[in-house]
């Protein structure tokens, strides 16, 4: 028999820093939250702002489900603290389009059946929008590579590629 201890701090838990006001600009709106400073941008969106379109798949920057656009660039929102994004322009899936007015990528994802369960989808679309914004996506091989940070366990990759290529093609022409 071996003795094992878990969480061997050897001291009482640290006194926690108080919550603090954090101001974020999300989808064109200014929002102020009172949150612990170590709250991730992902949790701020999902748990404090009810913007649950941004998904949590791993919380470790390994799956891409939490991808949002910060100043137009792709960011894993689970790897960023909310407090670090004060002054940035944050765009989430809710800001890209609505059911009444779908963005070209959102429409292309529907037309190409580029998702099944839908859980990775907002991250895929934000990622695709980001790489289009960045002007990086031109060929199929590039899109496959650049979209490889967004896992899709349903395996919709072929259709994601077709959807993104359609919008890339349209935006070039």
Site for other proteins in 64-123 (CB under 8 A): 65, 92-94, 96-99, 102, 106, 109-111, 113, 115-122
Measured CA to CA, the distance from residue 165 to residue 108 in angstroms comes to 9
CB of 88 to other proteins, least distance (A): 19
Interacting residues of 106 by C-beta distance below 8 A, sequence separation 6+: 96, 97, 125
User: Which residues in 2-41 contact other proteins (CB under 8 A)?
Assistant: 2-9, 12-13, 16, 35-36, 38-39
Stretch that binds other proteins, among 58-66, 83-91, 129-137, 165-173 (CB under 8 A): 58-66
Furthest C-alpha separation in the chain: 70
Torsion of CA 97, 102, 108, 113, to 10 degrees: 100
How is residue 95 written in tokens? 């800001």
- 161 near other proteins (CB under 8 A): yes
Pick the binder of other proteins from 46, 69, 74, 129 (CB under 8 A): 46
Pick the binder of other proteins from 24, 26, 41, 54 (CB under 8 A): 54
- 60 near other proteins (CB under 8 A): yes
Torsion of CA 53, 56, 61, 64, to 10 degrees: -40
- 160 near other proteins (CB under 8 A): yes
Closer CB to other proteins, residue 71 or residue 140?
140
CB 54 within 8 A of CB 93: yes
CB of 135 to other proteins, least distance (A): 19
DSSP string for residues in 27-56: TTEEEEEEE-TT-BHHHIIIIIS--TTS--
CB of 28 to other proteins, least distance (A): 16
- 129 near other proteins (CB under 8 A): no
């Amino acid at each position: 028999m071996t003795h094992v201890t878990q969480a061997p701090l050897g001291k009482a838990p640290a006194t926690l820093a108080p919550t603090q006001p954090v101001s974020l600009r999300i989808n064109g709106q200014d929002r102020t939250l009172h949150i612990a400073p170590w709250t991730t941008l992902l949790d701020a969106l999902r748990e404090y702002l009810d913007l649950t379109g941004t998904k949590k798949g791993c919380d470790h920057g390994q799956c891409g489900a939490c991808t949002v656009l910060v100043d137009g660039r792709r960011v894993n929102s689970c790897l960023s603290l909310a407090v670090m994004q004060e002054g940035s322009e944050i765009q989430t899936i809710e800001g890209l389009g609505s059911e009444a007015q779908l963005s070209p990528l959102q429409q292309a994802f529907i037309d190409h059946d580029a998702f099944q369960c839908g859980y990775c989808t907002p991250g895929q679309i934000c990622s695709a929008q980001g790489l289009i914004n960045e002007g990086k996506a031109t060929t199929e091989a590039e899109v496959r590579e650049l979209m490889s940070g967004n896992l899709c366990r349903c395996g919709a990759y072929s259709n994601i590629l077709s959807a993104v290529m359609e919008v890339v093609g349209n935006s070039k022409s």
